[in-house]
Amino acid sequence: MSFFSGLDFFITLIIAIIPAIVIGLNGKSLRYYRGFLTCIFIYLIYRNSLMELAFLTGYSAMSLGLVKLYLLSRIKMGRNKFFYASAVIITLCPLILSKLESFVGHGFFGSGSTIFGFLGLSYIFFRVIQTIIEIYDGIINEIKWYEFLEFLLFFPTLSSGPIDRSRRFSQDYSKIYTGKEYSELLSNGIVKIMWGLLYKLPLSGTAMYIMNTYMINKYDPIHIIGYAYSYGLYMFFDFAGYSDMAIGLSEMFGYHCMENFNYPYMTESVAKFWRRWHISLSQWFRDYIYIPLGGSRTKSKGRVYINMLAVWLATGIWHGAAWNFVVWGLGFFILIAFEKVTGFPDTFKSKGMKIAYRIFTLFFINFEWVIFRAKDLKTAVIYIQNMFMFQKHTISDLRTMFIIKDYFWIILFAIVLSFPVVSNLRKRFEGKEELCRIYDAVIGILVIVLFIWAITFAVVGQNNPFAYANF
């Protein structure tokens, strides 16, 4: 939805944050104001699509009733597998119906519409399912309707996460912070939002422009390779930017959210990439699919890979019910299984081999982005075929030269921020208080300047919807 990433959204946020700051600094509970804001923002986000708002309301009410009924049955009848499976299947049905649209090619209510298709469905689904699983495991013994609904619908994380856990969410729900405690949350939140806006607006926006420029000719290998790497930067800065803003806003409203990114492109292997990318999603699949299936502790080695396959099929289909997403998930499964069998890159003794494998890993990840981005599997196959048809293309070479000439410093800046350069420099000054203070002051001023630069992009309308709001 355009409101969720437009200038109006940021202006409304600023207005909404001011009372929260006043309440928090005075050591009062943010609970009621937070719930009020969630209702207001849900209306603003969905006000132009009353059908989606109706589906959201219906699905949330159904989920509340379902978890309450299942909790009651769990208390009275214990770990009954029939009721447990029924609750899971009922929760799954709306998501399955929504995803099926991509396979059949049309909506249930006409072109562009799906039953229970609304912004945030995939993320709400994760929260409902994990609640049911933890009720089954005996971890959750009580459900408060107002707390559960806010857990599902809390607006900073509604569209694209991070995917929170109900137990951790409950810890902060009724917590009242002292003025000093809240001021720390506030300062952390502001810094997070500043970095998030920097990632989202100039860096993600520039990467998207370069990506679209390279998409002019999908049959040119230089174009496709340039497109793959620019899309990789776009996805990182767009999604990491959103996550930072969501985490920052959550802290300003009294919640702690888990980090969702940890410099994924500095990874040593494909497996470790997914420990750094969309961390809340990776951990969710690990905790609620991989481990319940037996994880790595099964007696049969073959069963371990079946469990991994199930996770990656689920990951692919969750991102999109289309064959290119299935192939995308299978690609990661194959490489991660290969690393598990061979022990790569940990078995390498040569530093050169480890560096070479890092380069290969980055190439493979961006190769996967080509499959991920394609509108269908046929288009993905065309892209991949042409990636390896190396020919001399003067126009392509000239376009690349113009992109480098016009955007060299932004590209370089984006690449630098893809790695922990700032934090690593800070570590070099540890134990030297004076140097640390100088470094922190310089970085603080730099962040403010970059924040102002980022805001100019929103003011002039150079903005684009969040990528992960589509999943």
Q: Which residues are catalytic?
A: 319
Cis peptide before 221 (omega within 30 of 0): no
Distance CA 71, CA 141 (A): 7
* 158, HSE (Cβ side, Cα atoms, 13 Å): 21
Check if the beta carbon of residue 226 is closer than 8 Å to that of residue 393: no
CA distances from 172 to 30, 166, 256 (A): 10, 10, 7
Closest listed residue to residue 373, CA positions, set 244, 275, 467: 467
Please give the helix or strand (H or E) that residue 165 lies within, else none.
none
Alpha helices in 274-350 (DSSP H): 279-285, 301-319, 323-342
Is the Cα dihedral 351, 354, 359, 362 positive or negative? Answer: negative
Check if the beta carbon of residue 59 is closer than 8 Å to that of residue 124: yes
- Give the CA-trace dihedral at 463, 467, 469, 471, to 10 degrees: 160
Distance CA 267, CA 249 (A): 28
Contacts of 315 (CB under 8 A, 6+ apart): 281, 285, 329, 332
Is the Cα dihedral 427, 431, 437, 438 positive or negative? Answer: negative
Structure tokens at 181: 């405690």
Distance CA 100, CA 98 (A): 6
DSSP string, 388-426: T-----HHHHHHHHHHHHHHHHHHHHHHHHTTTHHHHHH
Three-state SS at 375: coil
